[in-house]
Structure 1
């Protein structure tokens, strides 16, 4: 059962007299517990709704087109929390004093399906797996990191095997499409362990469409936490060189690369961002795989419409993280500053909240931005 929070005006539900505060019990005798149940079972043309208001239960018979919306909005489902204690967990590296939601670690296959959140599947049971396959909750996004059971126990800090391969077997045989990330930690899941992980995952190439390798993120708040070596420019250069054999030998069923390195490796190494052909369908762009290439290509296309001269002079300041600053300086600023009357500068913000090892723009705090721009911002129009 799930509570109805809102009813759209002039909708089917509104016409029937269904109200916010009513409780949806079932659709066609299928119990409804969350949004996924609702969307799955509501797609029939003949729908029986069982609604409770107080102690009274009313049934509604509805004939509609399969894609007609009823205008019912449900309360958000309670998100499952993570039962791991990963040695690299970024949430565990948060400083004190942030808003409460930043300390919550979600691990919910429903969020993976709905929003692309990455899950380890360590808290998924047989009923969950059956529901995923029966309802075709595809694609899912998985954080695997390693396939070796001993290494997985070390990374997740779990005392028992989580039966990864049994779950992969069930999902892939059930036709579920998967995208995988590996958070790379020097000396822990790289080298031979990484080679084994890639080989094991390639066994499921019919269903696993992409594997993204991303660098571990380490903040300055790691007191009493396991030692992890940060990834530096030399390591990134060696990984890029080693990855050439993977991109040459491993392809998914669609003919695209199976293994992808995140943009951060290329930026750390000072190497050019690969061409768009490297990224295929940009399977994991939200994971930082190809995001820089898309930005550069879109900017190049948009720049063709730039004027030769501004009607009024403008001074503009770009604010970014230390990692992206060289890209803006090399590819964006020269084009913008070629427009007469436009003067564009960029400032890379040092991350004092999380530590100087955190260089991505998305983790900059407003306090750091304000503190580091307060003396120069007045000299810019925007």
Structure 2
């Protein structure tokens, strides 16, 4: 049974008498294990629901709705029968590089193809059962996001510590045969899947066009919590340069062969080397933005749409809290603010003591590191201190489980503002 979290007022479900906390037993006589089952069962104009009320009474309800009309039922989760857990022991696994008492979602080692289809998370395909493969094909659950890392079966087994990791080429070929599209990612680990192995992987993946929609390449991220884990290091600046050279070569191959590029490197490669960032139009609707691919180009494009004033009506002293990589990403934005009269702006770079200084992205800044840096600032030095709201989740908590309200209470003497983008930042600067 699946508990209803919310019923939208005046919706079809509401008018039929469905209530929050009711439980759905079956739809059209079928049990539903996930949101995919739910969507398929409610696609009919007439829907038969068997439900259990708050009083544990069972009854049947018939719903009728027009095509395209929302049914009006919401659930707390999108997987009803439990997440499929990861069965790998990847040498670069970020979950295993975290301390205790972290946000629950960060400690969740799921590897569920349904999440990949519904929400865009990446999966390894190593725990798929035959019936699940058949379901993906029969229901055309496309696109799927696949963590490939390498197309060398033996190397993939070594990197993921799972004998089933060697099946990657068979599964991708099967998906291609049945026109299941997929995005792919490669976590680049020096001494493992870089150099000649990267060339092999990119060459192999090109052959899956047009079913392959994108290839995202990100450098391995390592925290200071690696006791007992595989001996692994981050890429040096020279290795990043070399990798970008290889990526550029294969991007050109893709253009020559298919008249379009679908290979992308994470911003970190460019920001940590002298390679110029690709133009906004090179990212083709940004298919791997969640992987940190194209964020800086998107930011720079937003800058073009902002009307920067020549002067503010009154003097303002502003601080922006950001990460090591964030400061590099914001360089063009910072340059755009330099000539605004009456605006004094400082970027406060927060080093990641919590995870370790090798972690340089803004999204992994914790409350404790931000608090430590802010407390170094003299009270009333700034009229406003800005923090990117990417450090918070939907429940308004930081990675280290600190609530936003508690964070602000502890720093009540400082005028802190959370913003989601530079447009919002400029609105606050100009209009207060």
Question: How would you bin the TM-score normalised by the shorter chain?
Answer: over 0.9
Partner in structure 2 of residue 15 of structure 1: 15
**Tell me, what secondary structure is at the counterpart of 2:312?**
strand
CA-to-partner distance for each residue in 1:266-313, whole Å, 9 max, x for gaps?
0111332111232122111111111100001101221xx222111111
- Verify: 1:129 aligned to 2:130, yes or no: no
1: distance between equivalents of 2:366 and 2:311? 35
Of the structure 1 ranges 351-360 and 237-246, higher mean CA displacement relative to structure 2 is found in 237-246
- Verify: 1:257 aligned to 2:258, yes or no: no
Partner in structure 2 of residue 207 of structure 1: 211
- Verify: 1:178 aligned to 2:179, yes or no: no
Q: After the TM superposition, which residues 118-267 of structure 1 pair with which residues of structure 2 at under 5 Å, given as runs? A: 118-251=122-255, 255-267=259-271
Retained in 2: the 8 A contact 1:266–1:272? yes
**Tell me, what secondary structure is at the counterpart of 2:128?**
coil
1: distance between equivalents of 2:258 and 2:378? 48
Q: How big is the shift at 1:148?
A: 1.1
Residues 251 and 39 (structure 1 numbering): CA distance in 2 closer, same or farther, change over 3 Å?
A: farther
2: distance between equivalents of 1:318 and 1:270? 25
Partner in structure 2 of residue 34 of structure 1: 34
**Tell me, what secondary structure is at the counterpart of 1:323?**
helix
Of the structure 1 ranges 252-261 and 107-116, higher mean CA displacement relative to structure 2 is found in 252-261
- Match of residue 107, structure 1, among 106, 111, 116: 111
Of the structure 1 ranges 350-359 and 196-205, higher mean CA displacement relative to structure 2 is found in 196-205
**Tell me, what secondary structure is at the counterpart of 1:294?**
helix
CA-to-partner distance for each residue in 1:337-371, whole Å, 9 max, x for gaps?
21111111112111111111111111111111111
Q: Which ranges in structure 2 are unaligned for 5 or more consecutive residues? A: 385-432
CA-to-partner distance for each residue in 1:136-161, whole Å, 9 max, x for gaps?
32222111101111111111112455
2: distance between equivalents of 1:38 and 1:108? 17
1: distance between equivalents of 2:297 and 2:34? 37
Residues 232 and 243 (structure 1 numbering): CA distance in 2 closer, same or farther, change over 3 Å?
A: same
Q: How big is the shift at 1:25?
A: 2.8
Q: How big is the shift at 1:327?
A: 3.8
2: distance between equivalents of 1:199 and 1:295? 31
Q: How big is the shift at 1:334?
A: 2.4
Retained in 2: the 8 A contact 1:179–1:211? yes
Retained in 2: the 8 A contact 1:333–1:345? no
Partner in structure 2 of residue 366 of structure 1: 367
Retained in 2: the 8 A contact 1:6–1:74? yes
Q: After the TM superposition, which residues 45-64 of structure 1 pair with which residues of structure 2 at under 5 Å, given as runs? A: 45-53=45-53, 57-64=58-65
**Tell me, what secondary structure is at the counterpart of 1:334?**
helix
2: distance between equivalents of 1:107 and 1:300? 39
1: distance between equivalents of 2:256 and 2:132? 27
1: distance between equivalents of 2:378 and 2:168? 51
Retained in 1: the 8 A contact 2:182–2:213? yes
TM-score with structure 2 setting the length: 0.82
Residues 347 and 119 (structure 1 numbering): CA distance in 2 closer, same or farther, change over 3 Å?
A: same
**Tell me, what secondary structure is at the counterpart of 2:5?**
strand
**Tell me, what secondary structure is at the counterpart of 1:271?**
coil
Partner in structure 2 of residue 343 of structure 1: 344
- Verify: 1:355 aligned to 2:356, yes or no: yes
Q: How big is the shift at 1:81?
A: 1.9
CA-to-partner distance for each residue in 1:75-124, whole Å, 9 max, x for gaps?
42332221111111011011234344432212111211222111111111
**Tell me, what secondary structure is at the counterpart of 1:166?**
helix
Aligned residue-pair number: 379
2: distance between equivalents of 1:279 and 1:333? 23
Q: Which ranges in structure 1 are unaligned for 5 or more consecutive residues? A: none
Of the structure 1 ranges 206-215 and 134-143, higher mean CA displacement relative to structure 2 is found in 134-143
Retained in 2: the 8 A contact 1:317–1:380? yes
**Tell me, what secondary structure is at the counterpart of 2:325?**
coil
